[in-house]
Amino acid sequence: MHPARRRSLLKLTAASLAAAPLAPRPADALPRAGAEAATAVPTAAPGIVKPLPTAYFTVRGTNAESRFDAFRGTGPLTSADRFFVRNHTTTPRIDERDWSLTVWGSGLDGGPVRFGYGELRSLPSVTRTAVLECAGNGRTLFTTQQGQPVSGTSWTLGAVGAARWRGVRLRDVLLRAGLSAAAVEVMPRGLDAPFVSEGVDHGRVRRPLPVAKALDDVLLAYEMNGEPLPYDHGYPVRVVVPSWIGIASIKWVGDIEVSDTPLSSPWNTRFYRFFGDAHPPEGSAPLTRQTLKSAIELPFGATVAAGTTHRLTGRAWSAHAPVERVDLSTDGGVSWRPVSLCDTPRRDEWVRWSAPWCPRSAGPAELLTRTTDRAGNTQPARAVHNTQGYLFDAVVRHPVTVE
């Protein structure tokens, strides 16, 4: 279907659902890959628009975690119907005709500049593949594997996905808006409802970004995997900040403050810093880059037959550099062997990997995988604890039962 036609379909859907904000979206409202998902029993998360079949998702509060085993057999990109959703509140349904982006602040040479949707789409576009991962992905492993308490959404390993994003360079928009030489930070802000937690209103989701990063590889994206962005992933326009923690990639962006002095928001002061015994009392510097991980496309606690050769599959990624190698241990970490990489490793992308495994004897077993990237980073045996459970990077001990 032609993209223009898809866009008008989205408009109609937005209009027809506006009167019933909590009604589930009809299964045929958006073109989706993997239509078989609609036949699985859907679960519900308050405020997420797309269907969340249990075969693909685990609902955690206002969020939906992708099941890593549901990635098995799929391509290098994560289709929107399996892509995790991290919502501080609820997905707003915004009509592109009502949408505009305002760029404003002391870091501009002139006054505020507004960009309409059509105007943004008429600017030169770029397309790039980038992994998007929540800083808290793998958080529960701090507890289950290291015995340490953490606060936040109880993600296992599925708060990550890779997509092909198309949009406009943030650089081009900032230059058109009259970026001044004195600008130091920009702060995109979402149009979703203010985030209220434990009685504190933190305002709309927003987080500052240094001008250097904003001018480098950041996109204002309007397409995900060749389709208009789905509502849950930021339609009509979201920020995509390659290699940085997910919170930097503000969805439903409505305005961007450009400042000649440093900016702050709760998302770079009380959240998304390291706090705890290993860190300064005021917390670490605000987190920027993601880390490296690997995961197996098998449920935790899966049962596998003894005496048969299985093909273990998974994915590995690093926000620092392309993946160099992935090693597998099937004996709890005593011996290691390299797995085969199925994709050419590239910056900001993940690689699929595969390895044969023939378990000999029945009983509980642990499968370990360890990513090493071209910058020489390797997953450690233990992650450094922080109270909010960010950037878990340790080798995961994936439990299975051999029968």
Ligand X SMILES: Nc1nc2c(c(=O)[nH]1)N[C@H]1C(S)=C(S)[C@@H](COP(=O)(O)O)O[C@H]1N2
Nearer to Mo ion, 50 or 207 (CB): 207
| Residue, CB closest to ligand X | 190
Residue 87 near which of ligand X, Mo ion, none (CB within 5-8 Å, type-dependent):
ligand X
Shortest approach of Mo ion to residue 104 CB, angstroms? Answer: 26
Sequence letter at residue 10 = L
Coil, helix or strand for 403? coil
Nearer to ligand X, 49 or 368 (CB): 49
Place of tokens 């950041």: 218
Residue 82 near which of Mo ion, ligand X, none (CB within 5-8 Å, type-dependent):
none
Question: Which positions from 130 through 169 interact with ligand X, judged by CB under 6 A?
Answer: 132, 134
Taking the C-alpha atoms of residue 207 and residue 95, their distance in angstroms, rounded to an integer, is: 24
Does the protein bind ligand X through residue 291 (CB under 6 A)? no
Q: How many other CB atoms are there within 10 angstroms of residue 257's CB atom? A: 21
CB-based contact 290:302 (threshold 8 Å): no
Per-residue contact string for residues 304-343; x = within reach of ligand X by CB under 6 A: ----------------------------------------
Coil, helix or strand for 334? coil
CB-based contact 178:240 (threshold 8 Å): no
Residue 177 near which of Mo ion, ligand X, none (CB within 5-8 Å, type-dependent):
none
- Among 25, 86, 347, 397, the residue binding ligand X under the rule CB under 6 A is 86
Rounded to 5 degrees, φ, ψ at 335 are -120, 150
- Among 50, 60, 86, 121, the residue binding Mo ion under the rule CB under 5 A is 86
Length of the chain: 403
Coil, helix or strand for 397? strand
Shortest approach of ligand X to residue 119 CB, angstroms? Answer: 21
Residue 132 near which of Mo ion, ligand X, none (CB within 5-8 Å, type-dependent):
ligand X
Dihedral of alpha carbons 289, 192, 128, 70, sign: positive
Place of tokens 């996905």: 161
Taking the C-alpha atoms of residue 399 and residue 364, their distance in angstroms, rounded to an integer, is: 7
| Residue 282 to residues 109, 258, 261, Cα–Cα distance (Å) | 34, 26, 21
Nearer to ligand X, 134 or 319 (CB): 134
β-pair partners for 396:
369
Taking the C-alpha atoms of residue 258 and residue 351, their distance in angstroms, rounded to an integer, is: 36
Residue 88 near which of ligand X, Mo ion, none (CB within 5-8 Å, type-dependent):
ligand X
Shortest approach of ligand X to residue 167 CB, angstroms? Answer: 14
- Among 107, 246, 345, 389, the residue binding Mo ion under the rule CB under 5 A is 246
- Among 249, 290, 291, 371, the residue binding ligand X under the rule CB under 6 A is 249
Coil, helix or strand for 213? helix
Does the protein bind ligand X through residue 52 (CB under 6 A)? no
- Among 252, 317, 350, 392, the residue binding ligand X under the rule CB under 6 A is 252
Shortest approach of ligand X to residue 107 CB, angstroms? Answer: 21
Nearest to 11 by CA among 73, 71, 97: 97
Shortest approach of ligand X to residue 310 CB, angstroms? Answer: 30
Taking the C-alpha atoms of residue 137 and residue 112, their distance in angstroms, rounded to an integer, is: 36
Question: Peptide bond preceding 380: is omega within 30 degrees of 0, i.e. cis?
Answer: no
Which span (85-93, 280-288, 376-384, 395-403) binds ligand X, by CB under 6 A? 85-93
Question: Which positions from 121 through 180 interact with Mo ion, judged by CB under 5 A?
Answer: 134
Question: Which positions from 187 through 226 interact with ligand X, judged by CB under 6 A?
Answer: 190, 192, 205
Place of tokens 């002095």: 261
Nearer to ligand X, 166 or 397 (CB): 166
Which residues sit at the interface with Mo ion, rule CB under 5 A? 86, 134, 246-247
Chain positions contacting ligand X, by CB under 6 A: 83-88, 132, 134, 190, 192, 205, 233, 246-247, 249-252
